[in-house]
Structure 1
Amino acid sequence: MAEPALSSPRCAHWTAKGFSCNKPATKICANCKLVVYCGADCQREHWPEHKKQCKSDMAKLSWRPAWDRQHRKPAWTFEDAAESCRGSFGASGDLRHVVKTLAHLPNTIDQKVQFVINDRDSDVVARNAILLLLAFDAARSPGEDEAATVSATVEAIMHLWYSAFIPQRVLTRLQQSVGPLINEMCHSIATEPADNIFRKSWQASDGACLSLTLQQKTWFRLRRFLNVPARMTKEKATRIRNAVAWAPERADYRDRWHYKEATPFGRLARERFRRDGLLLPFGHPRLGFDIPNPMLFQFSSWILNDKADPRDGWAISEVQRCSWPASEDWYGRLTAHLTALLEKFIARLGKNNVSFQLYNTDARVLPYYLEDRKFDRIEVSNICDAGYIGLSHTLCVYANYLQHPEENPHATLIGTFVNGVKEVSMLEDTGGQIPNIEFLTRMLPPPSILSLTFWDSADITRLWDARYMARDVDALFKKYVELCRFDSIAAENGLEMKADNTIVDKWPTRLKAQSEDAVNVEEFRLFLAAGFNNLERCVEWKRRAEVVSES
């Protein structure tokens, strides 16, 4: 029997013994709004299990973090202070920006689309290559039932990307679709020197192409991601993951994040993902997810930190617009959002002449592979931050690869500054005060009288975590621009910073309201609960027209 689609809610009545109701779900739990049932009978039969969450202490408005209940200092107070459309992703990280860019291209675009995707981390590149090869397989050979093939591929991509454990059908698809391609390449270079670089290309439908350039040793490292390591059982993998996700010394931090959640039942949704590591709707059966994800379990330690969460990779406003009946189930909403996005992405592979070129090198070395190509979009992530390559070096390396205005007046180089506002704020901060307390107390439940006498109380800590949501970040970033000589550095490299962004939001992780009075409390709480710092500033540059006229 085919697995139910994740894009529609499943009756939440299932048991660990193997029972699972397959009827359409329409009846929402009125109390928690996390699950949906087919009717009152299933809801009543499932109540002994569901009440553990529905009546959980964590879901009560009165819930307090452990350090606050115990009137002690939280753990962190003891730490030390401190003819084609071309796009280039110089420090890509995962595939989220690539997927969004291709999926959201206007339907009117029919020219060849080329992406250069690079990251310095070989494991990141390996995962990206595997996920793209899965998508290519669906576009290349959809078979008689194209919809079923795409649906199965989307499920595989999502779980291999985000879930700690996967069902056998996902592992089988991975090994049957990608395994032969990688094994063939590894066999052909088995006797070559480990540091030699080799390139392999694969073709999909309508001229779509994927090429991967790696060292010999990295090709063999990539192949490991297709198989679960020997003796890596679910029990062992769970212990490895729990050592990080449930580290006892991090309990106060987890409570701190929970206390910032938008709603009490939102805590339970986050807690369930932390508990089982599965990107699924809250009430979806967990049966069959018994195989450690080989893309995450290749080592004796968990590769992610204890705050890693799939919610934090996607724009809150976009996920929020996705319809989902269980309004408190953000993971269900995210699953539906990603399903729709990945389906669009795969459809593009089957219709557009798309080319992906993947590299594994330092962003400063990538231009060696770009030769004389010019790009419509260049995205450099946050390598322009002072703690990484820095603004001057980034613009010096990539400016000449941006198309001239005569070729494309919309050609744009995009960089993200994560730390700029905080650095300027720390220079100006005279006492670590919480700004605009009146606004924050309108957005958050008022602190209790007892909390006001205890600086490390949960209420005061939450206000402190929200402080940058009440700051004039535009003024702070303007000072950062002046201190770091943005204008002169851009001019030296034939660029100019756009006064108004035309591609991405200036502040992608901040509220969009134009004034404090227009801020919606529910939206404020959603942004506070997210894993962003609310200070990420995206800057766009374009080539200076006068530079072109002089050349």
Structure 2
Amino acid sequence: MTTNMKALLSNLDKSLSALSSTNDKKSILLAFLDKLEQDSKQPLKFLYPSSNTPKTNPNVEDTINRKALEDLIARHGLQQEMFEVERKRFGQTRLKFGTPMPPPLGRLSCANQNTSKSRFCLNDGTMSCSGCLLVRYCSKEFYLSEETDVVEDCRNTLRSPSWSPAWVREKRTPKFVNENSDGAPPGMPQGTPSIFGMGLIFPMLDGGNIPAIDIINAVDNEGIADIRNRDISLAFVASGDLRNMVRTINGLPGDYSGTIKIVLNDFSPVVVCRNLMMLSILGIVEDVEEAAEHALHLWYSIFQPLSYDPRVFPPILESKILRNLNGTPVQLTPSTTMCTTFSSNTTAFLLDRLQPKDRDPPVANNALNKIMNAPERTRIGGMAFYGLVLPFGAINAHMAIPNPWLFTHDDRLMLNDSAHPFDGWDFDEMFNAGKAHGTTEEDLIGCLFFYVKDQLVEFSKRLRRFKVQIYASDKDARQLPKTLKSHPAFPQSFDRIEVSNITDKNYVGMSVLSDWGPLLNKTNPHAAIIGLFMNWHLWKKSANYLSSSVGFNDAMKRMSACPSAGFSPTNPFPPDRKVTEMMKTVTLFHDTSKSFEDYLKDEKEDDISSKAGLQSRRINRIVPHRCFAKLGTKHSELPVIDSPERWYKVQAPSLRPTGFEGHHVLNEVDEFFGEGAVDVPCSELIESFTSTELLDLDLLVRSDGANCFKIREKVTQSRLQLLESASSCGECLQNDYYHK
């Protein structure tokens, strides 16, 4: 620590120690921070980060200074008061103004937009563009106009049926594949897919692994009549984002009159802080339409609306939600309370993210283009080009505030090039919502926008109408039961416990059943633990369709026999890009139910479940055993593909470029679910086969000497290729790194 900073902190410590009033301490701290920022060559954001902020400043002295200041604030118990300090500091800063916020988008608007000429048509679009089918116009005159923002996109050569990637035309290995691996199937490029981008937080802050699920599903369990007046307790012990919570609350009857208690927990500071911000927006902003759009953009878009600073941020800072992170219940809405218990590290992280950032839009746009639109990885799609979840032809000039939840302090985008929110939602419902709001099925982002907005609007209304008690925390899932037990006011038993994929052995494993089984509501025969086995195939080679010629041939026969898939049995390996497409989707036709049963036996699931008073269901009653499969069918049943439209929706998630965890697909739709019997407290065990390749784990040593597990990918049985170097492990917060 520099001598000057040491003296400053020493004087601050003495001043704070001499005071007994919290308000007096806040005043002293505010004055100190203001003077510190005025005298410093660096903005405050570098002086007071959280312990989880990426370490981008090479100055060791600055790091020591930051830690000393953070410790001093915590020692005097002023972390909670820092939110009030930041609110006052924010009020002293000049707000940014620009293009006014357009009204909330209820219908697809006319695509007659020209930002450079400030021409924006607010009429509904009724005439589809015959060229791209992505946008609609309100009149023939505008349709024939050459001065709209979307003309260039409409005529893009990427849309041509004859377009092929450069690696196909030039007959070479694509740059997104590492060339030093061999043994790929005939016609397939050699090597393993590479990761492009930082991917520090994906999928935690993006699409997720499987579509959102209603973990109650009253229709197939308690029944609508019974659930309508029943008090319910739910636990999302490794929640990730809010989509399962939103989907579950929205799945209740509209006239539900019971009380819902929800434990919303995740060990990641960035996840719980962002969830808290979204809940605050949805509960505090009065206009539910506006609240839903702001929450949606904070969730998914690279840029936020300009109206966020003057209309959304101040009321959130002024609310009691952010100033009571020590377990004190506060009102989120007249009918919903929040009880938040965050650690000092998480509180510091939240404070850091709430501080004003001086990131210019062009800087953020360059960071986006470096990942999403790199020349060697060009692809088409509104999300890829612009990073905005909006209909393709919608007004977007007001989207100009870089989303602080998606950038590091040195302006790097914290996503991989495969990051996409599609995987977190049901495709059928998404398309239906788009159609209801006037968009086209071709505009996938537009459909997604309207669907997610509808979900958030309804969720926001229900937070204001239903009696909801939310208990938000950042605890380790294994320790959370003890935390709940030590707080009698917290829920002590649950009707549903959703544990995400911590059932994977590289996380908590089957012991999660021992930890949480005793907390199931024994008076409810439908109570269940719901878990996702996302990585089980790492330890079961037979799960891969390439593991045996029999399994491969069976899967190929099923795919060739499916008329909607469009692959000819007489020419299984055509010499074009369809080979890659086919190999990415063949897992849809691969039955892994026997392999998963063997895996559960290897993990002694029966013994562990029995000791915890649980029993595994053999036929699901809450969520399908596999994405796109029918609920209530055997685990050997494959996804239903009965039309070309269904095929398009089923295989669409698997055809995006390479990305997270080295998958050829972002999130394969091969996910398998198993659940327990209804006559006893039960475990609902969800399995998912998420990759067309077989993955192995390797023990690596970080630069600081700590051990961690790193996923490696095996395209064939003979050759392994590391996806990234060990030095990129960072804080081991990604899904593909695990502390030993």
Shorter-chain TM-score tier: 0.7 to 0.9
Distance 1:171 1:484 in 2: 51
CA contact (8 A) 1:402 1:411 kept: yes
1:24 is paired with a residue of what secondary structure? coil
- TM-score of the superposition, structure 2-length normalised? 0.63
Q: Which structure 2 residues correspond to residues 9-88 of structure 1 after superposition, within 5 A?
A: 9-17=108-116, 18-46=118-146, 49-75=149-175, 76-78=177-179, 84-88=231-235
Tell me the amino acid that sits aligned with residue 3 of structure 1. Answer: P
Aligned partner of 1:99 among 246, 258, 274:
246
Query: How far did 1:278 drift?
Result: 0.5
Tell me the amino acid that sits aligned with residue 525 of structure 1. Answer: Y
Q: Show the counterpart of 1:302.
A: 413
Tell me the amino acid that sits aligned with residue 277 of structure 1. Answer: G
- TM-score of the superposition, structure 1-length normalised? 0.83
| C-alpha distance after superposition, 1:198-253 (max 9, x if no partner) | 334321344410121112342232123234423x111111222333323456x2xx
**Structure 2 spans left out of the alignment, 5+ residues:** 1-99, 182-190, 193-229, 654-665, 683-740
Q: Which structure 2 residues correspond to residues 215-226 of structure 1 after superposition, within 5 A?
A: 215-226=343-354
Tell me the amino acid that sits aligned with residue 299 of structure 2. Answer: W
CA contact (8 A) 2:629 2:640 kept: no
- Over 3 Å counting, the alpha-carbon distance change for 1:276 and 1:447 in structure 2 is farther
Query: How far did 1:152 drift?
Result: 1.0
| C-alpha distance after superposition, 1:319-354 (max 9, x if no partner) | 133242422111111111112111111111111110
Distance 2:528 2:322 in 1: 39
2:375 equivalent to 1:275: no
2:271 equivalent to 1:135: no
- Over 3 Å counting, the alpha-carbon distance change for 1:184 and 1:204 in structure 2 is closer
- Over 3 Å counting, the alpha-carbon distance change for 1:102 and 1:413 in structure 2 is same
CA contact (8 A) 2:537 2:543 kept: yes
Tell me the amino acid that sits aligned with residue 198 of structure 1. Answer: N
Q: Show the counterpart of 1:177.
A: 315
Tell me the amino acid that sits aligned with residue 577 of structure 2. Answer: A
| C-alpha distance after superposition, 1:282-303 (max 9, x if no partner) | 1112212111112223432222
- Over 3 Å counting, the alpha-carbon distance change for 1:91 and 1:79 in structure 2 is farther
Q: Show the counterpart of 2:673.
A: 538
2:478 equivalent to 1:364: yes
Q: Which of structures 1 and 2 has the larger relative contact order (alpha carbons within 8 angstroms, sep 6+)?
A: 1
1:375 is paired with a residue of what secondary structure? coil
Residues 310-319 or 53-62, more deviating:
53-62
Distance 2:316 2:570 in 1: 60
| C-alpha distance after superposition, 1:173-217 (max 9, x if no partner) | 33112122379739xxxxxxxxxx833432134441012111234
Residues 275-284 or 16-25, more deviating:
16-25
2:301 equivalent to 1:163: yes
1:477 is paired with a residue of what secondary structure? helix
Distance 1:451 1:15 in 2: 47
Sequence identity percentage: 27
Q: Show the counterpart of 1:523.
A: 646
2:415 equivalent to 1:316: no
1:380 is paired with a residue of what secondary structure? strand
Distance 1:320 1:396 in 2: 40
Number of aligned pairs?
Answer: 505
Aligned partner of 1:429 among 534, 539, 547:
547
Distance 2:678 2:481 in 1: 18
CA contact (8 A) 1:92 1:381 kept: yes
2:670 is paired with a residue of what secondary structure? coil
Query: How far did 1:473 drift?
Result: 3.5
Cα RMSD (Å) of the superposition?
Answer: 3.1
1:88 is paired with a residue of what secondary structure? strand
**Rg larger for:** 2
Tell me the amino acid that sits aligned with residue 418 of structure 2. Answer: K
CA contact (8 A) 2:238 2:266 kept: yes
Q: Show the counterpart of 1:240.
A: 367
- Over 3 Å counting, the alpha-carbon distance change for 1:528 and 1:30 in structure 2 is same
| C-alpha distance after superposition, 1:445-479 (max 9, x if no partner) | 5589999476xx52211111011011123344333
Give the structure with the higher percent helix.
1
Tell me the amino acid that sits aligned with residue 538 of structure 1. Answer: F
Query: How far did 1:515 drift?
Result: 7.3
Distance 2:451 2:590 in 1: 31
Q: Show the counterpart of 1:484.
A: 603
Distance 2:145 2:513 in 1: 62
Distance 2:641 2:424 in 1: 26
Distance 2:273 2:639 in 1: 44
Query: How far did 1:50 drift?
Result: 3.5
Distance 2:241 2:676 in 1: 23
Distance 2:329 2:639 in 1: 52
CA contact (8 A) 1:150 1:343 kept: yes
Tell me the amino acid that sits aligned with residue 89 of structure 1. Answer: F
Q: Which structure 2 residues correspond to residues 78-477 of structure 1 after superposition, within 5 A?
A: 78=179, 84-138=231-285, 142=286, 149-181=287-319, 185=323, 198-230=326-358, 232-247=359-374, 251=377, 268=380, 271-300=381-410, 301-324=412-435, 325-371=439-485, 373-391=492-510, 393-404=511-522, 407-420=523-536, 423=540, 424-426=542-544, 429-430=547-548, 433=552, 435-441=554-560, 442-446=563-567, 452=573, 457-477=576-596
Residues 367-376 or 42-51, more deviating:
42-51
Query: How far did 1:77 drift?
Result: 4.4
Residues 174-183 or 16-25, more deviating:
174-183
Distance 2:473 2:162 in 1: 51
Query: How far did 1:418 drift?
Result: 1.7
Residues 438-447 or 473-482, more deviating:
438-447
2:114 is paired with a residue of what secondary structure? coil
CA contact (8 A) 1:315 1:508 kept: no
Residues 325-334 or 39-48, more deviating:
39-48
2:342 is paired with a residue of what secondary structure? strand
**Structure 1 spans left out of the alignment, 5+ residues:** 143-148, 187-196, 256-267
